[in-house]
Amino acid sequence: MTFAQSLTRLPCGNRVLDLAHTHVMGILNVTPDSFSDGGRYSQLDAALRHAEVMVAAGATLIDVGGESTRPGARAVSPLEELERVAPIVELINRELDVVISVDTSTPAVMRETARLGAGLINDVRSLQRDGALDAAAATGLPVCLMHMLGEPGDMQDNPHYQDVTREVGEFLAERMTQCAAAGIPAERIILDPGFGFAKTLQHNLSLFKHMEALHALGRPLLVGVSRKSMIGQALNRPVGERLHGGLALAALASLKGARILRVHDVAETVDVVRMLAAVESAE
């Protein structure tokens, strides 16, 4: 079964996403140490203003994260993460008409932000922390499962695959099985190949090239490559000069069937998605 053959309406709390077309998810890091925008949006007013700008630019999801997952990032306590994330989730839910995704692996954060209006759990650890499966199931929200080996602190030490696309697919299929056993049906699952997580440049490029193979899992794909090192390494560009490479990958991901693009540069990516849609809808 491919995702094109399955239902495309995804209930996200009190909102619904129509995944018959590609959506742009704007990144809102409320952390002091994110690789790209660390500290810029840690104050509540600044975070809300940035969310407003992204929604006005066409983002239909805002991904709020309170724990940096860049290589070597320090761990944060559940209380610290919750204190960072909960107020902005509550504020965005009150002020903006947008699906709020919470980028977390922490059970307490999942439960509390769901209560405050979050519509999606986006977990880079694929619900593998103790209690995460049960917490996610209890919220009733859809979840995004991402492929990663190890933890952010050591994931890039020496990643190795015989066939990266096949092994990523097998990992995600196994996590879907675990979700089903915990009471999270396939209809509530989104899949993220995990570009930049426990992968070399060649792993990332090969996985991107063969991404369509993951449609065999029957669930929509989320792709997040915005400003990542795979762009920097391929083009020899620092973080601040990766926009054009990121837009090229956004276009490719959309053409390969990705339904959510997780990005920093919302307005530019929305233009890419709309232009592709205009061409696709022509006679």
Q: Catalytic residue numbers?
A: 228, 262
Count of other CB atoms within 10 angstroms of residue 129: 16
The answer to whether the CB of 104 falls within 8 A of the CB of 75 is no
Q: Could you write out the DSSP letters of every residue in 110-161?
A: HHHHHHHT--EEEETTTT-STTHHHHHHHHT--EEEE--SS-TTTTTSS---
Q: H/E/C letters for each residue in 201-240? A: HHHHHHHHHCHHHHHHHCCCEEECCCCCHHHHHHHCCCHH
The token pair that represents 180 in the structure block: 């089903």
Measured between its terminal Cα atoms, the distance across the chain in Å is 28
Evaluated on CA atoms 39, 70, 237, 258, the torsion sign reads: negative
